[in-house]
Amino acid sequence: MATAFSQQPPVQPVPFALRLRNFWRRVTEGLEVSQLWSQFEGEARASYRLYSRDVEAKTPEGLTNRGRRLHVVKEFFWAVLEKLSPARRVLLLAALILLVIPHNGFSYNGEGGKAYSVEFDSHFWAGLLLFLLLILEIADRVVMKRDLQIAREIQTWLLPGAPPRIPGLVTAYTTRPANTVAGDYYDVFPRPGKTPDQNRVVLAVADVAGKSIPAAILMATFQASLKTLSTAQVALPELVANMNRYACSNSQGGLRFTTAFLAEYDPVRRTLDYVNAGHNQPILRRSNGSIERLDVGGLPLGIQPEAKYASASVTLAPSDWLLIFTDGLVEAENAPQEEYGESRVLSTIAASATLTPSEMLKRLMTELDLFVGQTPQHDDVTLMLLKAE
């Protein structure tokens, strides 16, 4: 019985140029050279700021130019070295010593007068030690990146999802962390009263001093205290005062304070009661184009346990806009270190007042991106837009 075998075509070798392109694409993740340079430039600036803070803090006054240069080099070296573990410091020092040792070797005579020579390539071993140090640092970075990603997911759970339906008010909001996790917070949630006509909607935007994980942890405590303390049937100024006393117990003597704008909206009377605790003054743009600032309140939370807070009230008429934001929006910088500023925000709102809040939010963030370009930002950006119907 004859058996038929299917003959498969021979496997064609992948051209070297194609393999090289695939390798480069995998390394760069498809980024262009200009994008790679912008990324390197941003990371270099961030690293310089990290080390320069230590150098500047330890540089005394009155040094000569030469003395200052030598001092800066020495302190920069120690600023780098002290950020490594002791074992890795030894590896780095050994690699640096081997780098400055020239290629060396020795010779000796064996049996029968035969000469032998042994070469010692110090640069090879220096490179090997630096590669080992790089592997150890990358391992730490991967573990930290994984933990930060988990922290970011948890933080996302603490923030509201789709904007809730509020009678007479349309909302939109967003946040953009400068790092993986942020210290900014925003929320919109109902606050039931003793009777149905006393039901309110809480609007909150807050900015914890600091960056990254410490600020994110305090942001979580702020969210928890706000949700817990708002269940008590107390007036808004008292609620903020209670939050301030709680914040003072976690602020390291006022170093980790929080600026916050807290408000209650009454859908029946269309009134907004608010307290501004040291936060950027929200912008209320009336339908006729006039601008009001919501600035009544008191100190940031976490500075003085017995601080008093005042409240004020505004009525929202149809087509009024309310913009609540953190300083990351107006202080965002482009390459020449120009700030975005409130004037650009006001111009965008004035030119697009007929848009919905979600459309306005998209336009504002797009114009912010066009302004900053590839310049890395150093503060979180949070923006909440409300439009009265």
Indicate which CATH number applies to the domain containing 322.
Answer: 3.60.40.10
Give Cβ neighbours of residue 151 (< 8 Å, ≥ 6 apart).
Answer: 180, 181, 213, 216
Is residue 115 within a helix (H) or strand (E), and if so which, with residue range? Answer: strand 115-120
* Helical axes 341-351 vs 357-372, angle rounded to 10°: 140
Residue 92 belongs to a domain: no
Q: Are residues 168 and 259 in the same domain?
A: yes
Nearest residue to 216 (alpha-carbon basis) of 277, 163, 148: 148
Q: Are residues 57 and 196 in the same domain?
A: no
Q: Which of 83, 114, 140 is the last residue of a domain?
A: 83
Residue 209 belongs to a domain: yes
Q: Are residues 227 and 335 in the same domain?
A: yes
pLDDT recorded at residue 301: 94
Residue type, 218: L
Q: Are residues 187 and 324 in the same domain?
A: yes
Q: Is the pLDDT of residue 3 over 60?
A: no
Q: Rounded to whole angstroms, how far apart are CA atoms 349 and 287?
A: 11
Q: Which of 83, 101, 126 is the last residue of a domain?
A: 83
Residue 325 belongs to a domain: yes
Nearest residue to 282 (alpha-carbon basis) of 383, 376, 159, 180: 383
Q: Rounded to whole angstroms, how far apart are CA atoms 297 and 274?
A: 8
pLDDT recorded at residue 107: 59
pLDDT recorded at residue 12: 67
CA angle 258–327–41, rounded 5-degree value = 115
Residue 135 belongs to a domain: no
Q: Are residues 236 and 364 in the same domain?
A: yes
Q: Are residues 171 and 290 in the same domain?
A: yes
Q: How confident is the model at residue 287 (pLDDT cuts 50, 70, 90)?
A: very high
Are 262 and 247 in contact by the 8 Å Cβ rule? The answer is no
Q: What average pLDDT does range 15-41 have in this prediction?
A: 83
Q: Is the pLDDT of residue 168 over 60?
A: yes
Question: Which domain range does residue 292 map to?
Answer: 161-388
Residue 37 belongs to a domain: yes
Are 184 and 382 in contact by the 8 Å Cβ rule? The answer is yes
Q: Are residues 196 and 320 in the same domain?
A: yes
Q: Are residues 64 and 174 in the same domain?
A: no
Q: Which of 56, 83, 110 is the last residue of a domain?
A: 83
Task: List Cβ<8 Å contacts ≥24 apart for 93-99.
Answer: 94/126, 94/129, 95/126, 95/127, 95/129, 95/130, 95/133, 96/126, 97/126, 98/122, 98/123, 98/125, 98/126, 98/129, 99/123, 99/126
Q: Are residues 49 and 169 in the same domain?
A: no
Give Cβ neighbours of residue 28 (< 8 Å, ≥ 6 apart).
Answer: 36
Read off the pLDDT of residues 29-76 as tens digits, 9 standing for 90 and up: 888 888 788 778 777 777 777 777 777 767 777 778 788 888 888 888
Q: Rounded to whole angstroms, how far apart are CA atoms 118 and 102?
A: 14
Residue 328 belongs to a domain: yes
Q: Is the pLDDT of residue 81 over 70?
A: yes
Read off the pLDDT of residues 87-130 as tens digits, 9 standing for 90 and up: 999 999 999 888 887 766 555 565 666 666 666 778 888 889 99
Residue 281 belongs to a domain: yes
Residue 11 belongs to a domain: no
Q: How confident is the model at residue 388 (pLDDT cuts 50, 70, 90)?
A: very high
Least confident of 147-161, 199-213, 289-303, 370-384: 147-161
pLDDT recorded at residue 273: 96
Residue identified by tokens 């110090």 is 122
Domain count across the chain: 2
Question: Which token pair is 73?
Answer: 């080099």
Q: Are residues 70 and 197 in the same domain?
A: no
pTM over 0.75: no
Read off the pLDDT of residues 236-271 as tens digits, 9 standing for 90 and up: 999 999 999 999 887 777 678 999 999 999 999 999
Q: Are residues 77 and 224 in the same domain?
A: no
Q: Which SS3 state, helix, strand or coil, does residue 200 take?
A: strand
Q: Are residues 231 and 371 in the same domain?
A: yes
User: In 3-state terms, the chain is what percent helix, strand and coil (to 5)?
Assistant: 45, 20, 35
